[in-house]
A = this chain, B = another copy of it.
Amino acid sequence: MRQKTSRSTIKEVALAAGVSTQTVSRVINERPDVSPETRKRVQEVIDQLAYRPSAVARSLIRQRSHTLGVVTAGLKYIGPSRILSGIASAVEEAGYSLLLKELSDFDTKEIEPIFEAFISRHVDGIIWAVPEVGDNRTWVKEASLDVEIPLVYLTMQAQENISVVSVDNYLGGKMAVSHLLEQGFKHIGHISGPLDWWEARQRMTAWKDVLNENGIKVKDEHSVEGDWSLSSGIEATKKLLNQYPDVDAIFVANDQMALSAIQYLRQNGRRVPEDIGIVGFDDIPESEFFFPPLTTIQQDQNTVAKLAVEDIIKTIESGWHKLEPKEPQTIIVPPTLVVRQSSLHLRGIHEKEVEIK
């Protein structure tokens, strides 16, 4: 028969089992110093009353909530939700709960109240999984100064006194552009993300650096700024073709823009990869099934999430107190180049000849 009245307390269990609350506490915490018979009797009562210890009361007395605060932004995009998914399962696995806050705007100033809510709920640690846009990093750093709680940042520029876990965007950019060069492309343009995003700047800098290292002059009109969206991919491509007519390959800062770029190019009589090679960034599910399939840089966001959770929990469980300065960790995860058809120039040339015949 089910217990349908309100949640039962340790007192009620104690009463029903004829022991003190302390003994019940010992049983539910699996302490050794309880006689087998007592334990059994208490356990039976617990099962019968469907008693569940109150995590709230425990948090109060233990000054530990076994809860992590997680801040995200842009959940409607695929990247942030994949990260959150990774965080959620890692947190779960570690036996913690997850208190979620979503920032409605990337560079919002509602950072204070978020920290306050977390503190007031006694979270044991905070994971800041908001992309670095504009100077939101500065605000967070500011706001986090009087937070005496372990804090890890995701996808943010590594810096002193701050623990960061991130994919190596710069390396990814280098891999993409080097690959295009190896394929024999000579005039490699770039469609960047919004340049107030740190990730976008990293990818763009990598593009410039690789070209420079290979003795290729980079001019301003060789790149166009997009905003990550499909529609901006079309606009940017149009503009780039215009201001850089010689372009024979484009490193596009994310897959969505790359996909719409390909679409636009094909509709305008440019073949991919024969006329123009394309490399994207992210490896979204669509990329593999596009025509032509998109060469791209794969970010292992699951690993990033796991590492961040592991790191913060290690800090928590080591009993770190803000008083001692902590040694911040910087973990950079390398991305992977996934080669598909959209960038295969060498082979593309042959296909071209065959088709033309």
- Whether, in the assembled complex, A234 has its beta carbon less than 8 Å from a beta carbon of chain B, the answer is yes
Per-residue interface assignment for chain A, residues 95 to 108, with 1 indicating a CB less than 8 Å from any chain B CB and 0 otherwise = 00111111010000
Binds B, one of A38-46, A287-295, A327-335, A340-348: A287-295
Chain A interface bracket (under 10, 10 to 19, 20 to 34, 35 or more)? 35 or more
- Whether, in the assembled complex, A336 has its beta carbon less than 8 Å from a beta carbon of chain B, the answer is no
Complex CA distance for A5 and B260, rounded to whole angstroms: 53
- CB pair A7 B148 closer than 8 Å: yes
Per-residue interface assignment for chain A, residues 72 to 104, with 1 indicating a CB less than 8 Å from any chain B CB and 0 otherwise = 000110101110110011001000011111101
- Whether, in the assembled complex, A216 has its beta carbon less than 8 Å from a beta carbon of chain B, the answer is no
Given contacts A56-B56, A88-B101, A92-B102, contact A256 B286 (CB under 8 A): yes
CB contacts (< 8 Å) of A55 on chain B: these are 117, 120-122
Complex CA distance for A151 and B291, rounded to whole angstroms: 45
From B54, B117, B145, B289, contact of A122 by CB (8 A): B54
* A residues lining the B interface (CB < 8 Å): 2-7, 50, 52-57, 59-60, 65, 67, 70, 75-76, 78, 80-82, 84-85, 88-89, 92, 97-102, 104, 116-117, 119-122, 145-146, 148, 229-231, 233-234, 256, 259-260, 263, 266-267, 285-286, 288-291, 322-323
Q: Identify the 5 closest CB pairs spanning chains A and B, nearest first.
A: A81-B81, A75-B85, A88-B102, A55-B120, A230-B289
